[in-house]
Amino acid sequence: MLALSDSRWSSFTHAYGPAEDIPALLSRARDDTGPGHKPGDAWFDLWSALCHQGDTYTASYAAVPHLVQFAADHLKRQRYNPLFLTACIELARLEGRGPPIPPALAAAYREAIHRARELAEASILSTWNADADAAIRASAAALSGDIVGARAILDAGLDENQSR
């Protein structure tokens, strides 16, 4: 896993350019349990940079091990942001909506995806509301490589939310 203090973060990119700001965002997000719906919130800014409009970037792959590292704690507090962001990054990668994983990040990324899948599968029966249920089921599908299943869950959730 790439340390947050590693100077190589600036060699990776996100939606807005070099990723030297991602370590600080990850540090802020670690303990942030807010919904993250507003610009300037750690989770909003991470989503915007790492999985912008469904696309992913080299910094996204570097961030995944960190996201998974604190996903279990967030799930205990009924927050799914780290797990769901991880799953959406993996779904974008599977759909070809990002660059290849840089070789220096590949092993840590794959290990984190495996751990995230385990967390998602273990959390399916303990969701706390409809949004969490959809996010965690979609995460489990994406993290298992089931693009069609993940998209079906996400699209059904979008259709339901748009009809309100």
> For residue range 23-44, what is the model confidence (pLDDT) as tens digits?
999 999 988 776 667 777 889 9
User: 3-state class of 18 per DSSP?
Assistant: strand
> For residue range 79-130, what is the model confidence (pLDDT) as tens digits?
899 999 999 999 999 999 999 999 999 999 999 999 999 999 999 988 888 8
Return the pLDDT at 121.
94
Return the pLDDT at 24.
95
User: Residue 92's Cα: distance from chain center in Å?
Assistant: 10
7 torsion bin: left (phi>0), alpha (psi -120 to 50), beta (else)? alpha
Mean pLDDT of 148-155: 94
Which spans in the chain are helix H? 22-30, 42-50, 58-69, 71-76, 81-94, 103-123, 130-143, 147-162
Parse the chain into domains and list their residue ranges: 7-162
User: 3-state class of 152 per DSSP?
Assistant: helix
* Dihedral, CA of residue 10, residue 56, residue 25 and residue 38, to nearest 10: 140
Are the C-beta atoms of residues 146 and 92 closer than 8 Å to each other? Answer: no
